[in-house]
Structure 1
Amino acid sequence: MDSGRVGECERDVTGDPAAARAENVWQRSYPFWDGYFAMVLVGTVAATAADDLPPGRRAAAIGLLVLLSLAYVAVGRKALRSQEVPRPGCRLYAAALICMFVPATLLAPVTATGLAALAPQVYMMYGSARGFALMLALFSGPVAMGLAESGAGSPITVVVVAAALACSVLLAVFIGRLGRQNRERLRLIEELDRTRDELAEVSREAGVLAERERLARDIHDTIAQGFTSITMLLQAAEAETGPNRHLELAARSARENLAETRGLVAALAPPALDGNSLVEALRRMARDFDLPADLIVEGEPRPLDAVEIVLLRVTQEALANVRKHSGAEKARVTLSYGDAVRLTVADDGRGFAPGEVERGFGLRGMRGRVEQVGGTFTVTGEDGTTVAAEVPCSAS
């Protein structure tokens, strides 16, 4: 094989996952084994036809070899290529080998040359143990003829039989090792595919978080700072001119938009625990909230790994909804530890109609986050709004 062909094969294996998966030793070699079997069988038939045997025996042996080739085409090829366990038709083909090849070797010993093609085929199809047992059966014809012609005590016959069996064992070991290496290779390729997909997902999420952080930083440095400056200027103008309804309305509008902008920055910024526990992060979030917010912790807090980020983001989004939509005067965050960890964010606002639950993008996002870690998410809008997320501790 020239260097260009080698380079092409390397590109197929390393550059194309589909080609790499298809790099199955047996699958890619099946046409060559078909050709090898055909050449050996034709040579065996030719040697049998040229052998100095009675015409009847020659014709019968050749007929059995032809029937064997038909059995291979009809049953053996499909069984050889099959990945099922057990292979369909393998027992029928084994019976055909014994019933056709062994009598052929008894009629014409020269047909034993066909074992050169049958041995690899048998071990590929039946494995080492069963393949060796079948090979012993196929050797029975040549061994019987050798013993009959040279005598049971002939050392040459014993040496030939022992050498043939030794070669068969070595072939079984070699093919078995190739099969194991091939299965391990396919397993590693599948594991590599899974790892690559996981890394791609992690990379995508990291890119999304980085972009969100950039947007949050840009909004904070531009729009939020601008609203802060407008608020300060309006307050200064009101101090100079005295109470003015228009200045008061403008200042109120600026403060409200500044609060909305800060909420947008908080929602875009990636949730980070900054080395603190979930309870400490929620306590800080409740303390910095625009409205009075209480934090209630029930049970014994414990680390929840990735679930902590999900619950922190749900709290962040739920409090943002309280500030923007509820008209509430206060909020309450409850974190309960048990067989499952349960988070509820409740307010005393106006609530909402049941049909409005699924229309909110923020609510759909919270539901998706919670369900992604195997939890359940519910929202009720009577007597204020209550957002509840429950995640099994095993999900962490």
Structure 2
Amino acid sequence: MEQRRQLITWYVLFAITQVTALVLVLIDNSTLADRLSAAGLLCLNGVWFVLYGRRLVVRGDDDWRGFVYAAGSLVTFAPAVWFSGNATFALFGLVPQIYMVLPLGWAFVPTVVFVLTPQVLTWLAGNEPSLPWAAALLIIGFSQAFGWAITRIVQQNQQRGELLERIEALTIEAERARWSADIHDTLAQGFTSIITLLQGAQPNVELALQTARENLREARALVASNAPSPLDGSTLEDALRRLISGVALPSTFRVIGDVVPLTTSAEVVLLRTVQEALNNVVRHSGATRVDVVMRFDEDGVSLEVRDDGRGFGDAPEGFGLRGMRARLEQVGGTLSLSSDEGASVLVEVPL
């Protein structure tokens, strides 16, 4: 989702530079034929990006195909500058594109060619370049430095993402190991004692019941110690508000009806279910906003997560939705999905 936002930002920048260059060309004081020729070439340059360059940007293919795109862009850019010097403004969009489709070291040569093209063509036409040669060289140096900085930021973000994934995996493994150790040291040992006692005579039955009760308390303690951290010391309503406020989309949260205390297991299931639903909205729906409503009535509590995205379509339910259903079944709840003007996930748990 974040990558999509970044790409949209770049697309807007490219569109602005292209439209600005077109306007500057059309208001140039050259002949009408020259202005129309330059404008047409700039339009072809934009079409070339949409049909070919955009795929390279989205995929992140930093290979020889970037040179193909650079060559195609130069074929339309250079004659546009020959017909109208104002077409030079398109460089503000073309240079970043070069660094997005080629590795940093490879992008230097095409950048030099693009930046110096207006200078060379103006000189060949017998005119004095509007941009001093020293300034052109400064632009080349700045472009390379900017490209290096952006590349480093991208690499650091990728490394940070890989580190977070590794930390998450290690955390899960550590949690599993802790659970295994706790169960072995408490429940397993206790149940072993129960079996041993029951295999004896009748007088040991009372002692077996006592041991079973102690292990039941141990099991409840283990479950309580692993309750979701957002619920620690707060109500379900407060935990949901914090969860929803952290979503990177405009969002609202409403509570309808009189709040009724719920069991810890029901609160945990509701919180985790809403968390998974919000995660799906952010990652898959393409929505611009999300609304969550918690409703209490005589029969139980319901939570609806609704967004204005593309809906569920015909895609089969993934692991996340299946996991939500499995959690709800543990507390007798149900899950309903609808795709009417967006997507809606309705969770209902009886009191």
Please report the TM-score for the alignment, with normalisation by the length of structure 1. 0.46
Aligned residues: 202
Say yes or no: does 1:77 pair with 2:54: yes
Partner amino acid for 2:190? Answer: R
Cross-structure match for 2:119: 143
- Please list, as runs of the form range in 1=range in 2, the aligned pairs for 1:341-352 lying within 5 A after superposition: none
Say yes or no: does 1:48 pair with 2:25: yes
**Which protein has the larger Cα radius of gyration, Structure 1 or Structure 2?**
1
Deviation, 1:218, is: 3.9
Cross-structure match for 1:35: 12
Counterpart selection for 1:132 from 102, 108, 117: 108
- Whether the 8 Å contact between 2:82 and 2:122 is mirrored in structure 1 is no
Deviation, 1:48, is: 0.4
Where does the alignment leave 5 or more consecutive residues of structure 1 unmatched? 1-21, 231-396
**Are the structure 2 counterparts of residues 101 and 85 from structure 1 closer, same or farther at C-alpha, using a change threshold of 3 Å?**
closer
Take 1:72 and 1:38, find their aligned partners in 2: how far apart are those partners? 11
- Please list, as runs of the form range in 1=range in 2, the aligned pairs for 1:304-315 lying within 5 A after superposition: none
Say yes or no: does 1:123 pair with 2:114: no
Deviation, 1:63, is: 1.0
Take 2:61 and 2:110, find their aligned partners in 1: how far apart are those partners? 20
Say yes or no: does 1:183 pair with 2:158: yes
Partner amino acid for 1:45? Answer: L
Take 1:83 and 1:51, find their aligned partners in 2: how far apart are those partners? 37
- RMSD of the alignment, in Å? 2.7
Take 2:127 and 2:134, find their aligned partners in 1: how far apart are those partners? 12
SS of corresponding position for 1:51? coil
Cross-structure match for 1:164: 139
Deviation, 1:209, is: 1.8
- Please list, as runs of the form range in 1=range in 2, the aligned pairs for 1:1-396 lying within 5 A after superposition: 22-24=1-3, 27-84=4-61, 86=63, 90-148=66-124, 157-210=132-185, 211-220=187-196, 222-223=197-198, 226-227=200-201
* 1:286-332 deviation line (CA, Å, top 9, x unaligned): xxxxxxxxxxxxxxxxxxxxxxxxxxxxxxxxxxxxxxxxxxxxxxx
Take 1:201 and 1:174, find their aligned partners in 2: how far apart are those partners? 41
Take 2:89 and 2:164, find their aligned partners in 1: how far apart are those partners? 39
**Are the structure 2 counterparts of residues 139 and 167 from structure 1 closer, same or farther at C-alpha, using a change threshold of 3 Å?**
same
Where does the alignment leave 5 or more consecutive residues of structure 2 unmatched? 205-351
- Whether the 8 Å contact between 1:45 and 1:111 is mirrored in structure 2 is yes
**Are the structure 2 counterparts of residues 217 and 147 from structure 1 closer, same or farther at C-alpha, using a change threshold of 3 Å?**
farther
**Are the structure 2 counterparts of residues 38 and 23 from structure 1 closer, same or farther at C-alpha, using a change threshold of 3 Å?**
closer
Take 1:161 and 1:90, find their aligned partners in 2: how far apart are those partners? 23
Deviation, 1:158, is: 2.3
Partner amino acid for 1:92? Answer: V
**Are the structure 2 counterparts of residues 157 and 85 from structure 1 closer, same or farther at C-alpha, using a change threshold of 3 Å?**
closer
SS of corresponding position for 1:53? coil
SS of corresponding position for 1:195? helix
Question: Post-superposition, which runs of at least 4 consecutive aligned residues in structure 1 deviate over 3 A?
Answer: 83-87, 89-92, 145-152, 217-220, 226-230
Take 1:23 and 1:49, find their aligned partners in 2: how far apart are those partners? 37
* 1:252-283 deviation line (CA, Å, top 9, x unaligned): xxxxxxxxxxxxxxxxxxxxxxxxxxxxxxxx
Partner amino acid for 1:105? Answer: V
Deviation, 1:139, is: 1.6
Cross-structure match for 2:334: none
- Whether the 8 Å contact between 1:132 and 1:172 is mirrored in structure 2 is no
Percent of pairs identical after alignment?
Answer: 21
